[in-house]
A and B are shown apart, each in its own frame.
Chain A
Amino acid sequence: MNIFRLIFQNLCHGTVSYALPHEHQCTSNQYRGLIVNDPTLCVGCGQCAYVCPSAAIEVKRSGDTYSWTYDAAKCAFCGRCIERCKPHSLTMESQLPPLYSRPDELKVVQNMERKKPVRPPVAPAAKPAEAPVAVKAEVAATPTAQGVQPAAPAEASPRKEELA
């Protein structure tokens, strides 16, 4: 008669349901929701469109402007675009995509201008009297310029862990 004991316990413990209607309480900060692009960081490489399995992202270039289009209706929320994005302009918000009633209602279009590349600062030529110090300064300067790149994969791996 285990089932009757179960039923009695259920009646004593009460309900586990959310009382509807209630606000969205779904999401932890790890929920895979809408993709958001930061236009200040995006360089228009189109890698996100290349790896997107459902062609939800489109990047079109014409002259000095490019447009980034994202259709949340087609998105599978897999996160490949975020893994691939080198400038880290794409992030995933833990937010549900909204309901819609017309087919193209959820399309987001961003038009951006080609950004000028930013060169790292070069140290000025040193005087011969101060040669050893200057050389040391130059030698010290270049590893830091290249030091940005090793740091980037270290930055990227916590994001990969977040998405996993």
Chain B
Amino acid sequence: MNLSFLIHFFLFPGLLFAIPASWFYVWGERKATARMQRRIGPPLLQPFYDFVKLFGKRTPSRHGIEADLLLLWPALSVLSMVSAMAMLPVFSYSQGFSGDAILLVALLEMPSICFILAGFTSGSMFAEIGAIREAILSVACNVVFLLSIVTVAVTENTFRLSDLAGVSWNPGHWIGVFGILLCIPAKLRLNPFSTSSAEQEIYAGPLTEYAGAALAMWELAHGLEWVALTGFVATMMIPVGGWWWLHALLFVVISFAEVLLLSTFAAATGRLTLEGAIRFYWRWAAILAVLAAAAAVYVRFRP
């Protein structure tokens, strides 16, 4: 619990940076989608207004263990995302909260698991359908995600985040980064993989029964997922060395560029059915990921 950890957790890239950044990235996605559809789009502070307004709603009272569980899932999602943000190796020297990629992957997985469990504990059939879809999709997408991380780790010969970060001219590194980018739309429930929170089709998916402050926490967790996932990919694209403020600047710029890229793909595609989505991940992405991981292991360990 030294000063560096506190700065990483609370200041940058932790709480104080992550929350406004999440609002900014969510606004960027909505504005970019609007402009691509020749609309004007929401004003800059719109996600902030939505967040504050939700705290003013009087939610229905629930009783029993269900009430506590329903509040637990969004809180767990937000906490795990903030911790994941704090772990990101933005700076080339990483003191304090240095961890390895396995812990980061586990933390990045928490919101998805909490989403599924929230759907099952809601007691609404629409929430259950959404949770089932999210569960099936996350299994398919995690195979690709984990294999991509393995590819990068084997190429760099380490699982430590501070060593994984940084640009390297090894093709294995870039194939792994591409694989992670391929999984991000499924994790963020963007088109074409937005089947688990299909608006209007299954009402609001697993979040149907949420209202007020708990819903605000879910929106915040979603925004933090944006920051953490795009930030994770961005840290693997920043060159090592240089001034710390240049690192931070490049981190934000590359993350926002990824936000725009993902928004473009989301605006350009329609929603795939569950079958179509898992066919994409199991048939194309998983096979390529297996090949890439096998190639990386072979290259690393060949005599």
Which positions in A face B, CB cutoff 8 Å?
3-4, 7, 10-11, 13-17, 19
Contacts and interface: CB of A to CB of B under 8 A. Distances in A.
B40 A10 contact: no
B36 A7 contact: yes
Contacts, number: 26
A30 to B, nearest CB: 27
Contact of A14 (B38, B267, B268, B269): B38
A17 B268 contact: no
Name the residue in B38, B264, B269 with the highest tally of chain A Cβ atoms < 10 Å from its Cβ.
B38
A11 B35 contact: yes
Given A3-B268, A7-B268, A13 B38 contact: yes
A15 B40 CA distance: 6
Contact of B268 (A4, A16, A19): A4
Contacts of A11: 35-36
B39 interface: yes
Interface string B71-106: 000000000000000000000000000000000000
B37 interface: yes
A15 B35 contact: yes
A132 to B, nearest CB: 78
B270 to A, nearest CB: 10
5 contacts: A7-B264, A10-B36, A10-B37, A11-B35, A15-B38
A162 to B, nearest CB: 34
Contact of B38 (A3, A10, A19): A10
Contact of A17 (B39, B264, B267, B269): B39
A60 to B, nearest CB: 48
A16 B39 CA distance: 6
Nearest to B269: A3
A8 B298 CA distance: 42
A15 B36 contact: no
Contacts of B40: 15, 17, 19
Contacts of A19: 40
Interface in B39-58: 39-40
A142 B21 CA distance: 87
Contacts of B269: 3
Interface in B242-265: 264
A15 B268 contact: no
